[in-house]
């Protein structure tokens, strides 16, 4: 259960390791949330409803600062997603909004869309449907946490990984009246 001292954070996982990481965090008794999207899959011989992670390579953890090392040492976790030099926090109501959304909707598809700061955006589905707002930030999140773009993790071979991290966590924010 959520407590005042615990906060939600985002961890970046190895590709296709979201469920494995969630299982390991559960065994460590660390509160976590791996949003699963129920998707209909078609094979040659059958159809099946499959639970796939909504966010590729991301899992949420609700911990206090003393548990950060234990989370980092979990097999399959690359690191926390960082914002302004420290692990990015996620508000409890945002986690609840994701839970509520996935309760109401299935076969959700995420699409990458180019937006710029100050673009007006309209939410077309989910709990904020029909709401409008200004997109306030677009940029690259430092998923490895080093802050050093010259480190080995930022070299050519891993550029796609970090671009993917940036696209997944840039979201529109509603603030103020619309023109």
What mean pLDDT is reported for the chain? 76
Is residue 65 in a domain? yes
For residue 38, the domain's CATH number is 3.30.70.940
Average pLDDT rounded to a whole number, residues 98-105: 87
Domain housing 102: 7-169
Is residue 179 in a domain? no
Residue 42 CB burial class (10 angstroms; 0-12, 13-18, ≥19): exposed
Q: Looking at the whole model, is its pTM more than 0.85? A: no
Reported as a single tens digit per residue, the pLDDT across 41-77 is 898 999 998 999 999 999 999 999 999 999 999 999 9
Number of domains in the chain: 1
Reduced to 3 states, what is the DSSP secondary structure of residue 22? helix
Reported as a single tens digit per residue, the pLDDT across 80-96 is 999 888 999 999 988 99
Q: How confident is the model at residue 118 (pLDDT cuts 50, 70, 90)?
A: confident
Lookup: tokens for 101: 């959304």
C-beta separation of 135 from 116 below 8 A: yes
H or E stretch at 24 = helix 18-27
**What secondary structure does DSSP assign to 84-137, as a single string?**
TTEEPEE-HHHHHHHHHHHHH--S---------TT-EEE--SSTTTT-EEE---
Is residue 11 in a domain? yes
Is residue 176 in a domain? no
Percent with pLDDT over 90 in the chain: 42
Average pLDDT rounded to a whole number, residues 12-20: 96
């Amino acid at each position: 259960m959520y407590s005042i001292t615990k906060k939600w954070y985002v961890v970046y996982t190895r590709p296709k390791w979201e469920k494995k990481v969630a299982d390991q965090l559960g065994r460590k008794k660390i509160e976590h949330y791996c949003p699963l999207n129920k998707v209909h899959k078609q094979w040659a011989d059958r159809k099946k409803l499959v639970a796939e992670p909504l966010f590729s390579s991301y899992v949420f953890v609700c911990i206090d600062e003393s548990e950060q090392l234990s989370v980092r040492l979990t097999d399959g976790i690359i690191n926390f997603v960082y914002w302004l030099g420290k692990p990015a926090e996620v508000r409890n109501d945002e986690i609840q909004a994701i839970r509520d959304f996935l309760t109401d909707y299935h076969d959700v598809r995420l699409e990458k869309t180019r937006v710029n700061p100050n673009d007006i955006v309209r939410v077309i589905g989910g709990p904020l449907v029909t709401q409008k707002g200004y997109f306030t930030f677009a940029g690259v999140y430092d998923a490895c946490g080093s802050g050093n773009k010259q480190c080995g993790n930022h070299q050519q071979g891993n550029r796609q990984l970090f671009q993917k991290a940036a696209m997944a966590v840039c979201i529109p924010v509603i603030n103020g009246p619309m023109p």
